[in-house]
Structure 1
Amino acid sequence: MLRKAKILCSLATLCLSTNVVAEEETEVAKRPQTVQDVIVRSGVLTPKGQVAFDASVSFTQNSSNKVAVVGYTVLPALLVGRIEVSDSDRTTMTASLSMRYGLRDDTELEVRWPYVYRSDQITTRPIEDGSESETINTSKSGGGMGDIEFALRHQLNFETTPYWIAGLTLKSAYGKSPYEIDINETDNTYEEIPTGSGFWSIEPAISMLYPTDPAVIFLSFSYIYNFKDSVNVNGESTDIDLGDTISLGAGVGFALNPDLSLSMGFGHRTILDSKINGEKPEDSKLLHLDTLNFGVNYAFSPTSSISINAQAGLTEDSPDFQLTVRVPFSI
């Protein structure tokens, strides 16, 4: 569940910023795509023989506050044990480079290389137990290559709207797995920062684009299946089956002019229960992640554009805030 797969951003990318398109409907693609281009031209993927790149930097902030009761209650007003209050703040920076190649006018191949840097700060303090312990501050930071992804997309129709795009993404386990890192027994934290999920996954997806001048309505659905694997936990081989993820997204993009576009949308993800050795842990539960997205895209040259997307979390398990800056360019 460390991996927080893309929800609405990948779909908004199709609408706003990532492919090479024609300046006119009958011309060869020359620049990354905007909403206006989707309205003018029926092909929304990278044309045959063309290469497009996407350099991006993403900043994610996630925080949580919780109270843990360690002990038991003799009477409703009498607690034997201790109460701990903890506050955790996690900042993640992800820099990635994607390359897309048009196998045909209706099919493209993509490879994405991410670099992940994370900084975690956890503050824990026991209260109301007579303890003389001071507040415990734990900080961990580090980075490395994340999980490399491979994607194949195919546009199903050209002549009629809405346009349908089917996709299949394979995520590797290239990044540093959390199960490869030792745990500090003193504060129960990782000795190093993990940069990957540790598991391979496959994600089939279907997206819809409906041009209605001057806007484009988009919908998406995907299912992430994680391959279970055996990992070393406390010196023992343990079968881990991460919960699969169901993702839904919807939104609309507005073309203010041929070069400037705005977008807004909603994303939802449900992460299903995980299993350990074929059984669900007692504390396993469904996770629901809802987000609001706002984006702007500007094509500043015939071959380049810039896209800025802000995401706000709506549920407790969602990231508080995410800001992504992309610079798609073609050659």
Structure 2
Amino acid sequence: MFRYIVRRLLQMVLTFFGATFVVFALMFANQDDPLQALAGERPITESQRIALTERYHLDEPFLTQYWYYMKGLLTGDFGTSLTGRKIADTLETAWPITLKLATMAIVIAAIIAISAGVYSAIKRGGIFDNTTLIVTLVLLSMPIVVIAPLAQLLFGIQLGWFPPTASAKATFYQLLLPAIVLATSVLATQLRVTRTSVAENLRADYVRTARAKGLSSRRVTSVHVLRNSLIPVITLIGVDLGNLMSGAIVTEGVFNIPGVGYNLAKGIRTEDGPLVVGFVSALVIVFLVVNLIVDLLYAALDPRIRYE
């Protein structure tokens, strides 16, 4: 196990450097005039432009800029945005609300997907099974950029069931509608994977043996089938964290939630390279750590899996 963790940590380091390099290169190639984009229509004096260019090394070659960024990042300094605010301070403010939103979305999606997926597999071919397949097909065909404004208009504005926007100190109720919207981006896939996995395990030999020993159907399903069926689902949930973070850019923008996605979208619009790369670097770290935890959970769910 120790050797496996060390090997994975080395892979994570390489992945982190590769991801930050690609993002930094994309921002460097996309930059037109970030200082003017930040100022909008207001003019920038030549002295201001020279001072800001020197401060952010905008006149330096790409590799030199990347070296300055990584040098600061490895010492725990995410840098300073073009607005002059420390990126670490912005992350500290935005991260808790995005973490809360993503956690709510993961829990909502997992509860609905696992419950409906198991029941659909047990009642395969029935009305509930066919209905869930149609609903998941509709969800897969509708991107979150369509679902989010529709949900805000229908449930937030017209019906008034939920607040149409949320603040940085939003309550559970204020984040419930955005969390449900965000959960729809991963719900359909998780439900279908759960249904398929449970249906396959219900036909396995060990299930017939357990039933032959006199175990009840509920115990066979909850203890034996569900535990084996959750392995691919947990893998998917770990991968879905990245989808939730990318979906949060749209969701937080629509519901005006000042989280990571909202600030990331704002940084892209204003060509604030340091802010975008800093936020993406933090997201890459979270994504890598979560995937490592998911891999380690395999051994807990399936005793046959051992990392040597």
TM-score (norm 2): 0.27
Q: Which has the higher contact order (CA 8 A, sep 6+)?
A: 2
TM-score (norm 1): 0.26
- By percentage of residues, which structure has more helix? 2
- By percentage of residues, which structure has more strand? 1
